[in-house]
């Protein structure tokens, strides 16, 4: 895209943009660089203001690639033309433990802003996570505990820095300013009306269906908007489901006498099921900290119809013209290499082939000792606890996997309802969760 605009600026000599007539830009009508050179004339060099305008056009083209909304129209171009570094805001509520590939669509766009000298303000919504963002929800979002929020917030920064430049990133926690005095909160509430808040499409659909909308959810856009006031945001990014919140923040900024931000929304990445948005709660996600073999395996499961979107939004490229399976392998290799390295990508593909092409067990399987999972009599191993520790899931998730037949011993599903097994029946065997995760069990029989 940069080279396209470079060629475009050099190519004003013909057609409607050159000396051949038509509606040429001011200052260029009837002017041909080649004619001036051949005629012995001098080529006018653009002044500083024109150079800023031209370079801002190129930057705007790069920065808005794949964007859905860039609003208000023309504002971002004006901001870029000013030549000053912009404060570009993104808020993420730490409601889950991991950032997944869906989040990286916006994070990549932030990195593009950084590459041309702008500063990213990454807001970890440790306060707003306790309220719950209603965006795209048909019911009130379940709220995580304080302990979960704190634990998740601790992981978000390192995961985000897999994509962002630390030196050009300012990390803020919105509890810094949202734990406000009652008088301040009342002042914030006074900046809008209930009618304005109820304009949001999510709320309209829920009320039409007879589903409740809590007062707490109504408060969320105000709090997110105040984030923009607190960090003096020039630009805010988000997914298309955030459009109402991002525009609403402009109203909040204006109420506090601040210049409203421009907004840029990015597409929502579909999950590995190819139908619903990527979400950990739906189980259709690829985490940026997933092990290489798990990341590659998940990407090999995406439907063929979803591949063009994955290539475009995650790699900034068109899907290669080759058989779908080969294109999907390239997608998997490139994404694994990006979040791990090239060697990990090659091994992940080899691991996939062993399991799903040649149907072999991995040559090396991590071992886990059974001793720590015996009951007080040493007569049985409690499977939910073993699975939770061995595979890094919660006990409730382990029970769910057992109930769905998603746990195997030496390739055979453990019968649903089985929670305890004698250690002698586990010794030396391979415990498997899903299709790609294995642990060899060791202990005294």
Beta partners for residue 262, in sequence order? 235
Q: Reduce the DSSP state of residue 91 to 3 states and report it.
A: strand
Looking at domain 367-442, which of 3.10.290.10, 3.40.50.2020, 3.10.180.10, 3.90.550.10 is its CATH number? 3.10.290.10
* Dmax (CA) of the chain: 101
Fold of 52-266: Rossmann fold (3.40.50)
Q: In the predicted model, is pLDDT for residue 177 greater than 70?
A: yes
HSE (side-chain half, CA atoms, 13 Å) at 325: 4
Instruction: Please state which of the ranges 1-10, 44-53, 86-95, 116-125 shows the lowest mean pLDDT.
Output: 1-10
pLDDT digits (tens, 9 = 90+) for 407-440: 888 778 888 888 888 888 888 888 888 777 888 8
Q: Which residues of 108-146 are buried (b: 16+ CB within 10 A; e: fewer)?
A: bbbbbbbeeebbbbbbbbbbbbbbbbbbebeeebeebee
| Rounded Cα gap, residues 120 and 122, in angstroms | 6
pTM for this prediction: 0.68
Alpha carbon separation from 113 to 72, 119, 264, 268 (Å, rounded): 18, 8, 12, 19
Q: Reduce the DSSP state of residue 124 to 3 states and report it.
A: strand
pLDDT digits (tens, 9 = 90+) for 294-345: 999 999 999 999 999 999 999 999 999 999 999 999 999 999 999 999 999 9
Beta partners for residue 374, in sequence order? 381
pLDDT at 61: 66
- The candidate with the shortest Cα–Cα distance to 119, out of 165, 77, 174, is 165
Is the distance from CB of 32 to CB of 231 less than 8 angstroms? no
Cβ atoms within 10 A of the Cβ of 289, count?
A: 16
* pLDDT bucket at 370, cuts 50 / 70 / 90: confident
Is the distance from CB of 105 to CB of 267 less than 8 angstroms? yes
What does the DSSP assignment read for 264-323?
Answer: EEEPPPB-TTSSSBP-TTTT---BTTS-HHHHHHHHTTS-GGGHHHHIIIIISSPPPSS-
pLDDT digits (tens, 9 = 90+) for 33-57: 333 333 344 444 455 444 444 455 5
Contacts of 413 (CB under 8 A, 6+ apart): 405, 406, 407
**For the chain, how many residues are written?**
445
Domain boundaries of the chain, sorted by first residue: 2-41, 52-266, 292-357, 367-442
HEC-encoded secondary structure of 230-267: HHCCCEEEEEHHHHHHHHHHHHHHHHCCCCCCEEEEEC
pLDDT at 29: 31
């Amino acid at each position: 895209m940069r080279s396209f605009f470079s060629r475009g600026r050099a190519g004003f000599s013909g057609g409607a943009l050159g000396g051949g007539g038509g509606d040429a830009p001011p200052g260029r009508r009837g002017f041909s660089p080649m004619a001036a050179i051949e005629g012995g004339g001098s080529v006018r060099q653009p002044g500083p203001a024109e150079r800023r305008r031209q370079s801002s056009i190129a930057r705007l083209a790069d920065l808005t690639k794949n964007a859905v909304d860039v609003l208000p129209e023309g504002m971002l171009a004006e901001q870029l033309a000013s030549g000053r570094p912009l404060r570009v805001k993104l808020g993420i509520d730490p409601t889950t433990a991991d950032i997944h590939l869906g989040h990286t669509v916006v994070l990549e766009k932030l990195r593009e802003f950084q590459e041309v000298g702008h500063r990213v303000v990454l807001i970890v919504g440790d306060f707003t996570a306790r309220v719950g963002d209603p965006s795209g929800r048909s019911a009130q979002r379940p709220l995580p505990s304080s302990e979960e929020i704190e634990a998740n917030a601790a992981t978000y920064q390192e995961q985000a820095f897999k994509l962002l430049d630390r030196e050009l990133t300012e990390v803020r926690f919105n509890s810094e300013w949202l734990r406000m005095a009652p008088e301040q909160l009342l002042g914030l509430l006074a900046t809008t009306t209930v009618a304005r808040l109820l304009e949001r499409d999510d709320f309209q659909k829920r009320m039409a269906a007879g589903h409740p909308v809590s007062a707490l959810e109504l408060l969320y856009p105000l709090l997110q908007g105040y984030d923009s006031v607190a960090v003096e945001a020039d630009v805010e990014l988000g997914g298309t489901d955030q459009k109402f919140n991002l525009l609403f923040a402009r109203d909040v900024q204006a109420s506090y006498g601040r210049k409203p931000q421009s907004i840029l929304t990015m597409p929502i990445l579909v999950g590995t099921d190819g139908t619903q948005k990527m979400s950990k709660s739906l189980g259709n996600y690829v985490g940026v900290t997933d092990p290489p073999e798990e990341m590659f395996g998940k990407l090999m499961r995406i439907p063929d119809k979803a591949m063009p979107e994955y290539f475009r939004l995650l790699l900034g490229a068109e899907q290669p013209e080759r058989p779908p399976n080969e294109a999907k392998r390239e997608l998997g290799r490139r994404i694994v290499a990006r979040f791990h390295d090239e060697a990990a990508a090659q091994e992940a593909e080899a691991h996939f082939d062993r399991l799903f092409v040649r149907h072999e067990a991995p040559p090396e399987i991590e071992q886990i000792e059974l001793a720590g999972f015996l009951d007080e009599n040493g007569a049985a191993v409690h499977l939910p606890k073993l699975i939770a520790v061995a595979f890094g899931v919660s006990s409730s998730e382990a029970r769910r996997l057992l109930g769905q037949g998603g746990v195997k011993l030496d390739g055979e599903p453990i019968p649903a309802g089985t929670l305890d097994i004698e250690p002698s029946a586990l010794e030396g065997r391979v415990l498997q969760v899903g299709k790609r995760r294995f642990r060899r069990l060791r202990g005294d029989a």
